[in-house]
Amino acid sequence: MLMTAPLPALRGTRAAFLGVERSICGRAWRDRLDERATARALSMTQRHGVSELLSRVLAGRDVEVDGVEEFLDPTVKRLMPDPDTLTDMPKAAARIADAIIAGEQIAIFGDYDVDGATSAAVLAKFLRHCGNEPLIHIPDRLFEGYGPNTEAVQALAEKGARLLVTVDCGTTSVAPLVAAKKLGLHVVIIDHHQADEVLPPVDALVNPNRQDDLSQLNHLAAVGLVFMTVVAVNRELRRRGFWHVLRPEPDLLDSLDLVALGTVADVVPLKGLNRAFVCKGLLAMRRREHVGLTALMDAARLTGPPECWHLGFLLGPRINAGGRIGRADLGVRLLLEENPVEAGALAAELDRLNRERQTIEQATLAQAEAEAMAALGIEEKGAVVVTAGQGWHPGVVGLVAARLKERYGRPAFAIALEPGGIGTGSGRSITGVDLGSAVRHAVTMGLLLKGGGHAMAAGVTIAPGKLAAFRAYLEEMLAEPVEAARLEDVLLIDGAIAASGASVAMLTEMDRAGPFGAGQPEPVFALPSHTIAYAEEVGQSHVRARLRAGDGTMLNAIAFRAAGKPLGNALLANRGRNMHAAGTLSIDRWNGEERVQLRVMDLAPVEHVAR
């Protein structure tokens, strides 16, 4: 059952939804659609015959009336530009094609995260089809750190490598790649991290974030850029007559499952080409034809059709676990494994490492939260959370930073301090605050030994005695953008429904507007005046509840990591009372049954009624 917002949208503004100006979580609720978008949604329903609720969801994601059909069926072919629009792509494709035809030894140097593992796997899979067996090196997070290092480059050269291709790294690795050149290696970089003015002396550097690149493709993850590179190399080989009856061209779309995994896990905006990658990649993954991914899904106990959030919260963390606390190359080995037995063993090991990682993360997070509370005080003053600790595992600091950002609603860093005082850490940001730029500037000021990243995430290496100065620098540098971002912390609502309207059929229709993720927010629905019929704390600080509509219809609900926080306390304290609830809907599959579940994001007293 669809219900409309009780307040009309005002021209140029978003109206208060259900009259809520301050919720339990301290936010105002706003209609995602202003007057213009509301009119656009109405036109969509009239012209394309889609439901009013789906039209609102589409209009809230900037879809135009004329673009509805294309948005609901995104294709890689239609949305992918000519790869040569990327600076240096023709050079990169030509040099890789030269190496394939000449039978040169190619080495792939990747990053230790999911984007790096999938990037290396997509390129290696293509090279193997071409008859070239590449060397693959994924650096150890603890002993080598991020990006190419001179020792690893030298080792690859000693193994016979003539061409080094770095994926998801390399743009700022000037010294190691100067060393590579002296060793006689040719180098191609495929990366998406922010670039400095001075670039490494390489044969080709494909990066939409370099200052002279006009492709406007800087929203792509590295794996998306690698896919475009493979398309360009395949085309170059075709021009040179490389493909023939005994060696036919590969079906490059077979790699879209890997592209989807890396794209979602790297939290890049799911718009345009990225959205097409993920849509088609999920379809490929559902066929369960990829041996390594199928083994990983089995290890993660994923029996239903994979959805976008499964990639980010079930599969991605297991690939990452190898790089965080185990062997860095386990992920890419699994993604390239063709033997089901070997793949099962690798997936089981990654699953074990992921459980170990969870235990380490929970212990570190408890210490980091205690430090953050002491630093911010009761009133939680400060623009940034910067925590550091002796003995913290460097492999989990990024996850801890993400939890701190979520808990305190501001950029956060977690830094693992070594016995000598050097710290290695990660930061996570909030929308509207460019953390990568701030970190790179800190390097130029001498506050960091190394640092880089992008707007939403960054990595740092800090010298002994510099922690206080780095914290003070961030407070000064980010105070204004953080304040502005926090002032805009409102909950945008796509529409209002009753529990009876939250059906599997309704969610199936909403999925047509997906996949949802970064830059493509999952629809948020308000349930006006529902009774909290039941609520209890479960699992690891979650609160499970049931909401009852006026007609008696019940809806299962859960608030993740809400116990002891305002949202969880409100659910438990208001059992038997009517509240406005807001959150996202999903299908909970259990024992062959499908039930709709609300992930509660906020509550508001029913006294908030429009007059």
How many residues are given for the chain? 611
The domain boundary residue, chosen from 248, 265, 283: 248
Alpha helices per DSSP H over 409-547: 435-444, 467-487, 504-510
pTM value?
Answer: 0.90
Kindly state whether residue 272 falls inside one of the protein's structural domains.
no
Identify whether residues 466 and 523 lie together within a single domain: no
Count the domains in the chain.
3
Please say whether the beta carbons of 76 and 230 come within 8 A: no
* Residue 8: per-residue pLDDT: 39
Q: Cα–Cα distance between 307 and 118 in angstroms, integer?
A: 18
pLDDT digits (tens, 9 = 90+) for 462-508: 999 999 999 999 999 999 999 988 877 799 999 999 999 999 999 99
10-24: average pLDDT: 77
Q: Cα–Cα distance between 577 and 489 in angstroms, integer?
A: 27
Backbone angles phi, psi at 602, to 5 degrees: -165, 160
Identify whether residues 12 and 124 lie together within a single domain: no
Kindly state whether residue 38 falls inside one of the protein's structural domains.
no
Work out the percent of the chain whose per-residue pLDDT is above 90: 83
561-581: average pLDDT: 95
pLDDT digits (tens, 9 = 90+) for 153-192: 999 999 999 999 999 999 999 999 999 999 999 999 999 9
pLDDT digits (tens, 9 = 90+) for 199-226: 999 999 999 999 999 999 999 999 999 9
- Better-scored residue on pLDDT, 362 or 146: 362
Q: Cα–Cα distance between 24 and 460 in angstroms, integer?
A: 36
Kindly state whether residue 541 falls inside one of the protein's structural domains.
yes
pLDDT digits (tens, 9 = 90+) for 420-475: 879 999 999 998 899 999 999 999 999 999 888 888 889 999 999 999 999 999 99
Domain containing residue 511: CATH number: 2.40.50.140
Please say whether the beta carbons of 132 and 100 come within 8 A: yes
Please say whether the beta carbons of 430 and 401 come within 8 A: no
The domain boundary residue, chosen from 487, 502, 536: 487
Identify whether residues 529 and 442 lie together within a single domain: no
> Side by side, which strands form the sheet with 135-137?
135-137, 106-109, 163-167, 186-190, 204-206
Identify whether residues 533 and 412 lie together within a single domain: no
Alpha helices per DSSP H over 494-578: 504-510, 566-573
pLDDT band at 12 (very low <50, low <70, confident <90, very high): very low
Encode 406-435 in three state secondary structure: HHHCCCEEEEEECCCCCEEEEEECCCCCCH
Identify whether residues 99 and 211 lie together within a single domain: yes
Identify whether residues 229 and 124 lie together within a single domain: yes
Residue 611, pLDDT above cutoff 50? no
Kindly state whether residue 558 falls inside one of the protein's structural domains.
yes
Q: Cα–Cα distance between 114 and 107 in angstroms, integer?
A: 19
Q: Cα–Cα distance between 419 and 182 in angstroms, integer?
A: 35
* Residue 13: per-residue pLDDT: 57
pLDDT band at 608 (very low <50, low <70, confident <90, very high): very low
What single DSSP character describes residue 171?
T
Kindly state whether residue 170 falls inside one of the protein's structural domains.
yes
Identify whether residues 428 and 536 lie together within a single domain: no
State whether residue 30 is helix, strand or coil.
strand
First vs last C-alpha separation in the chain: 23
Identify whether residues 482 and 506 lie together within a single domain: no
* Residue 610: per-residue pLDDT: 42
Identify whether residues 446 and 523 lie together within a single domain: no
Identify whether residues 370 and 415 lie together within a single domain: yes
| Structure-token match 């905006």, residue found | 269
Q: Which domain holds residue 481?
A: 365-487
Amino acid letter, 408? Y
Residue 3, pLDDT above cutoff 80? no
The domain boundary residue, chosen from 427, 456, 487: 487
Domain containing residue 187: CATH number: 3.90.1640.30
Amino acid letter, 505? A
Kindly state whether residue 502 falls inside one of the protein's structural domains.
yes
Kindly state whether residue 349 falls inside one of the protein's structural domains.
no
* Residue 454: per-residue pLDDT: 80
Please say whether the beta carbons of 423 and 469 come within 8 A: no
User: Within a 10 A sphere around the Cβ of 142, how many other Cβ atoms?
Assistant: 17
Work out the percent of the chain whose per-residue pLDDT is above 70: 97
Q: What rounded mean pLDDT belongs to the chain? A: 93
Identify whether residues 111 and 235 lie together within a single domain: yes
Identify whether residues 450 and 472 lie together within a single domain: yes
Domain containing residue 439: CATH number: 3.10.310.30
Kindly state whether residue 310 falls inside one of the protein's structural domains.
no
